[in-house]
Structure 1
Amino acid sequence: MNDTVQSHAAKAPAADKSALKKLGAKVRKRLAANPRVQTVMEDRAEIFAVGEFLSAAECDRMIAMVDGVAKPSTVFDMNYQDQYRTSYSGDVNFADPFVRSINRRIDDLLGIDTSFGENIQGQRYLPGQQFKEHCDWFYTAADYWAEEKAHGGQRSWTAMAYLNEVEEGGSTDFTRIGVSVPPQRGALLIWNNATPDGLVNYDTMHAGTPVTQGVKYVITKWYRTRRWG
């Protein structure tokens, strides 16, 4: 992390601690009871996966929707935006019946109230594009935090689905713990952005590594600690 991110991180852990702890316990219990859910890691970070969560037809339909909304990606902290996230992204239409059905399936899997979830965002990575290492939780010393605190608070869980196989590159690498997940069409990757005691977890630092051949499509849904928006 650069100096700006490190200074933000120093004040980050206190935000929504009790809510993160409570929601973490609820989702952890629900995922543990589901035989389709595989545990990728559970000690330093809670990471789970579900194979074939989306069908091939659903992936193709979502890819077309992502292509329709994709624009150059942004990040919250403008101080490290340049060349930090070079993909294209955009929110798919939350009112579309197909998108609503995918939303409900993710909500039901995690057992989180749908009002806590942000809109599903699609991302497209062309050769050479990447998202350098970052955490999904918010730095509470950053300028954007006051607005995000009012609009749902800290991010709790992340759910990300791979929409296609990538010819080469494009893995999701959790850089602090040495876990690398290659894109697998239809698979859903899930992780808790906090520790079991409700502190933001630095070991969820992850990167979308550069695509070296082909194109990568994913969709991501982030959950907050309370109603979003």
Structure 2
Amino acid sequence: MMMMLGNDDTEVVKEKCVKVDKPTLIELSQKPRIYRIPNFLNDEECQHLIDSAKNKLRPCNEISSGVHRSGWGLFMKEGEEDHPTTQNVFNKMKPFVNITDSCEVMQVIRYNPGEQTSSHYDYFNPLTSNGSMKIGLYGQRICTILMYLCDVEEGGETTFPEVGVKVKPIKGDAVLFYNCTPNGEVDPLSLHQGDPVLKGTKWIAIKLINQKVNNNKDQSTNPPSQ
């Protein structure tokens, strides 16, 4: 059975969704490690990320390799992440993950009705020459923070098919999931996909958290603490 989780589905989730200074983590899965972070972004931050991208979007099949995306998106250019609002978003991430110079730039994606992302892994495959090269350049993609920038009328869930977790997109919420196990090995259970948008528009921002190059004991492999 697929588990659908939103902000107000159960009493337990309701109790954990009170707004506090430090965002609250809701554990959705232990293997792989998946957490929902309610109210991670405020309205101003969501709108800033949309505004920074909406006039520069390109078809995702031109900027994404190995994954079928039928939406529109972009990777921020050098310097665009330095905007104070974007930096504030990164500061919110720091209690949970280790943002290093190795981390890749943020990606913003828009999906219209019928558009989706196929099931895929975010980690670099260390058994391939291309994956091994990228690990050497950037460090392994230890975890992913996916942020929902708007509500979606219908569809557009983030689904982890191997473990039966389906996350409804809610404006301002984020999903933090680990692509690797605590010992640093890639986790095939982290397979995920963006379900088709059935009605409305879906905007997301993605930040991939890479292990610091030449540091195999990077703290970002550890579960987040509260």
Normalized against structure 1, the TM-score is what?
0.76
Q: For 2:28, give the aligned amino acid.
A: V
Mapped to 2, the partners of 1:146 and 1:45 lie a distance apart of 22
Distance 1:125 1:143, change over 3 A: farther
TM-align CA RMSD: 1.9
**C-alpha displacement of 1:104:** 2.4
8 Å Cα contact 2:32/2:187 also seen in 1? yes
Q: For 2:73, give the aligned amino acid.
A: S
Mapped to 2, the partners of 1:116 and 1:49 lie a distance apart of 24
Aligned to 2:75: 91
Mapped to 2, the partners of 1:95 and 1:197 lie a distance apart of 32
**Alignment pair present for 1:37 and 2:25:** yes
**C-alpha displacement of 1:124:** 0.6
Runs of 5+ consecutive residues of structure 1 not aligned to the other structure:
1-33
Q: For 1:192, give the aligned amino acid.
A: Y
Runs of 5+ consecutive residues of structure 2 not aligned to the other structure:
1-21, 215-226
Instruction: Report the identity percentage.
Output: 27
Match of 1:125 among 111, 130, 136: 111
Whose helix proportion is higher, 1 or 2? Answer: 1
**C-alpha displacement of 1:145:** 2.3
8 Å Cα contact 2:140/2:211 also seen in 1? yes
Number of positions where the alignment pairs a residue of Structure 1 with one of Structure 2: 188
Q: For 1:123, give the aligned amino acid.
A: I
SS in 1 for 2:54: helix
Aligned to 2:123: 137
Q: For 2:26, give the aligned amino acid.
A: Q
Q: For 1:89, give the aligned amino acid.
A: G
Mapped to 1, the partners of 2:203 and 2:99 lie a distance apart of 26
Mapped to 2, the partners of 1:100 and 1:121 lie a distance apart of 14
Q: For 1:131, give the aligned amino acid.
A: T
**Alignment pair present for 1:178 and 2:132:** no
Mapped to 2, the partners of 1:76 and 1:165 lie a distance apart of 27
**C-alpha displacement of 1:114:** 3.2
Match of 1:160 among 132, 146, 167: 146
SS in 2 for 1:104: helix
Mapped to 2, the partners of 1:143 and 1:111 lie a distance apart of 27
Mapped to 2, the partners of 1:200 and 1:95 lie a distance apart of 31
8 Å Cα contact 1:137/1:200 also seen in 2? yes
8 Å Cα contact 1:69/1:91 also seen in 2? no
Deviation string for 1:155-192 (max 9, x for gaps)?
Answer: 10100110110011100000111100010110011011
Distance 1:91 1:61, change over 3 A: same
Q: Which moved more, 1:96-105 or 1:47-56?
A: 96-105
